[in-house]
Amino acid sequence: MFSFVGGVQTAVTEADVRMIMPPDEEKLRTQAEGYRLLLDACLRTRHCVSFTV
């Protein structure tokens, strides 16, 4: 992710929060929290224009 600098827009592209397989409830919760943190960071960035998983 890039910070806003002199008119540059920010985008999170192809976000991937990996986990060791096979998945279980705890791993899925941890993965969801990772995505939540990434999206939250994008939303807090003044000029974040896109978030892609």
On whether residue 24 sits in a domain, the answer given is yes
pTM (predicted TM-score): 0.77
Task: Provide the residue range defining the domain that includes 43.
Answer: 10-51
On whether residue 3 sits in a domain, the answer given is no
- Tell me, letter by letter, the H, E, C secondary structure of 21-51: CCCCHHHHHHHHHHHHHHHHHHHHCCCEEEE
Q: How many domains does the chain have?
A: 1
On whether residue 39 sits in a domain, the answer given is yes
On whether residue 44 sits in a domain, the answer given is yes
Contact 53, 32 (CB under 8 A): no
On whether residue 1 sits in a domain, the answer given is no
- Encode the chain (53 residues) as per-residue pLDDT tens digits: 555 456 688 899 999 999 999 999 999 999 999 999 999 999 998 889 999 98
